[in-house]
Structure formats: structure tokens, C-alpha cells
Structure 1
């Protein structure tokens, strides 16, 4: 699971963000409302992503970011996305220099927010050894796939594609994104390779016909 921390003194905004992210089943969401609570949580939990309000009641979010970046052994090295109403170029430059990875203006457009966040979710290193989904079990170490206890024979690309969908369950993945992460440096492969590989996967695992949805012109999403 990807550990995401929402830092904001507004309970209303924290609840809104949790509702916005409820379909991202690979996220474990935590929340903090001030500077001190955030530091204490970051000492206990290695977060992968932090959504950080820069105006906190007991301290400056910029200083919080600076503190986290100066002490990676204590606070890990999470992606930090600043959420703020202050969009002056000076403020943007300062917080990027202090270690923020992105900067989103309040109030934000929901779709833009999710697109920006998804880019960081996709960059979180995967540390799974086994993935389970609706009767499918994938053993990443020995690259074995089982469905309801029966071993399913997959090609290398089929295995990598299925693993990528399961790891990114709930995310809308474009064909370009899939190609870059599954086929990687094989530049001779076209986007049709995704559709052809997926067609074979659907035959071998028919439940994907129900749960893996195609969004015309956008890509695919696993429910």
C-alpha cells in the first residue's frame, strides 16, 4: 500500500480529499492538522506522498518541508505536494527550492489535482511480493499467477501488464503510460501492442472483462 498523508488544518478539506481519493484502493490515507502532529506522524510512519498545506496554525508548511528534506533518515524521502492559495512566483520558487515536488493552487480543479497526484503515485517504488485481487494471486518473485488456486500460464508481457494494472488499481492509465512502464525501452512497439496483449489476458482471465474498463480516447482503469 502507498502511504499518503494529508496535512491541513481544515477538517472539511481533509474529508473532501479523502472522498476524492476513495476509489484509489492502493492508497492508505492518514491525516494531520498541524505542524507538530505532522512531524510526530512522519517519525512513526514512512510516508510515500504528503499533501501539504503551507499555512498551518502552529507553523509554516515551508519550514516543515525544509525539516523533512534535511532529515531523510528520520522522515524518509516522500513526494511533497504543496497545497496553497499563495500562488506568487516568489512563493512557488521558494517552496520548490525547499524541496516541494509540485505546487497546486487552492481552490483546485479536481481532475487537474488527480492527474498531478497520479504521476507521483506511479513513481512510488513497488515493494510487493504478492498481490491478491478477486481470486487472482500474483507472486512477483517467481512470476507465477493463480486464479482460484489454478496456475495460469502467461507470457512475460502478459504477466508484466497484469501486474501493472493490479499495482495501479483505481488509476486511469493511458496507452502511452502503459507502454512506457511495461514495454519500457522497446520503442518499436506500437500502442496496438497494449490492446493485443490485453485481449489475450481477457481470454485467460475472463473476470477482467467485468473489472478492467476501457475509457475511449483515455486508456484503461481496473476497478
Structure 2
């Protein structure tokens, strides 16, 4: 069963969407403001997000920007702000589609299905190898090379490196690593991520310098254009 996160402060609309989506066979998470929405995204691991623009505490544009620093999860923006400028701003932040209010539930359903289908097909088309400068990562068989040298990594070290290479240019927070790779609450154990990064850098040698520390946030590798 796929999970959809609704970030919407109008409780009548939130409830309507939740009942409709649950009736269509989806599991639904909900948040009433931008800050709670980001937390629900990080902890709930949803398959798609329905995101309002006008939210208390943190607007939808900022929420989307934070999500895109960590994930390519499908995001459909829903809003009464239907001007071309508002829609373009959303697409510049890499949303996947836009639904104006008042919402047509049948059209929303078709858009959700299409966006999820595109996202899943994109995953199937991913290369069997990831290349980053002199590094080669063989997807899903836990093999990494720097030049012609095989690098012996643990499963978690491999998964951390894979996450970084698949999200070049984006900062991945320690919490995000814990939620996505450990997949359960790991309260107070952010140092576990730091220790794995430290060991990973050491094993990669000079290539380990590609992993940048973003102070107070997490880690990233520079995007190669």
C-alpha cells in the first residue's frame, strides 16, 4: 500500500482528501503546517506529497525546497494561488505537478497515478552503475571502485555513498540518513552517521574528500554538470 502525505492547513480540505484517498486504497499521513510537514516527510517515508502553498509556520515553497535537498519524492502542489507566476515558482523548485483549488478529485487522482507511475519508471531506468569522477559504484551489489582499485565497504557505508551519489548537490541531513537507511527511530545517535562517514572517507582515500560536511546540517557531494 502506497502512502501519501497531505500538508494542508485547511482541516476541511485535509479531511476530504484523506477520506477520498483512503477510499482509493492509499495510506494517508497529514500535517497542518510546514514544519510538521517536513517532520512527517522525514519520519513517514511517504510515496508522494500533496503540498499546499499557503501554510502557517513555513510556506509550501520553503517546504518543497527543504524536501528537494534530501529527496526526489514526487510532490504535487495544491493551491488557490493559480497564477502563472505561482505555478512557475513551484516548477522551478522541481514539483511534479500542480493542482488548483477548488480541487477536482477525479483529476487529482489521475495526476497522482501519473506522477507515481513516472517516478517508478524513472527508478527502473536507473543505471546499473553510478559514476562520480574516478569512483564507480555498482548498484545493489555493494561493490565500489576508485580507479581500478576495489574498495571494501560495509553495507551501511555503501548505502551512504550511494545516497550521496544519487542526490548530487543536495544536502542530506543526519536525520534523513537515519530515517532512510536505518529505517527506525535512532534517537540521539546522529554520531553513528558521522562515524560511518569518517570510515567511508578513510577507505576512499583522496576520493573521500568529495564528501563535504555542511556544518550543523549533514553531508553532500558537489553536483557534476
TM-score, length of structure 2 as denominator length: 0.51
Q: Within 5 Å, which residues of 2 pair with 1:1-223?
A: 1-25=1-25, 27-72=26-71, 77-123=72-118, 125=120
- Cα offset, 1:120, TM superposition: 2.3
Paired with 1:97 and 1:121, the residues of 2 have a C-alpha distance of 20
Q: Per the alignment, in what secondary structure is the counterpart of residue 22 of structure 1?
A: helix
* Alpha-carbon distance, 1:81 to partner: 0.3
Offset at residue 124 of structure 1 (A): 5.2
State the SS of the aligned residue for 2:23.
Answer: coil
Rounded Cα–Cα distance in structure 2 between residues aligned with 1:32 and 1:91: 22
Q: CA deviation at 1:37?
A: 0.6
Count, aligned residues: 122
Contact in 2 for aligned 1:7/1:32 (Cα 8 Å): yes
SS in 2 for 1:55: coil
**SS of corresponding position for 2:103:** coil
Runs of 4 or more, structure 1, over 4 Å off, are: none
* Whole-Å separation in 1 of the counterparts to 2:105 and 2:38: 28
The two structures, once aligned, show a CA RMSD in angstroms of: 1.9
- Spell out, residue by residue over 1:38-65, the C-alpha distance to the aligned partner (whole angstroms, 9 max, x if none): 1111221222100000100112101110
Shift of 1:11: 1.2
Distance between the aligned counterparts of 2:43 and 2:104, measured in 1? Answer: 32
Superposed CA offset, 1:151-175 (max 9, x none): xxxxxxxxxxxxxxxxxxxxxxxxx
Larger relative helix fraction = 2
Q: Distance in 2 between matches of 1:89 and 1:103?
A: 11
1:125 Cα deviation (Å)? Answer: 3.7
Q: Is the 8 A contact 1:2 1:124 kept in 2?
A: no
C-alpha distance in structure 2 between counterparts of 1:89 and 1:124, whole Å = 25
CA distance in 2, matches of 1:4, 1:123: 16
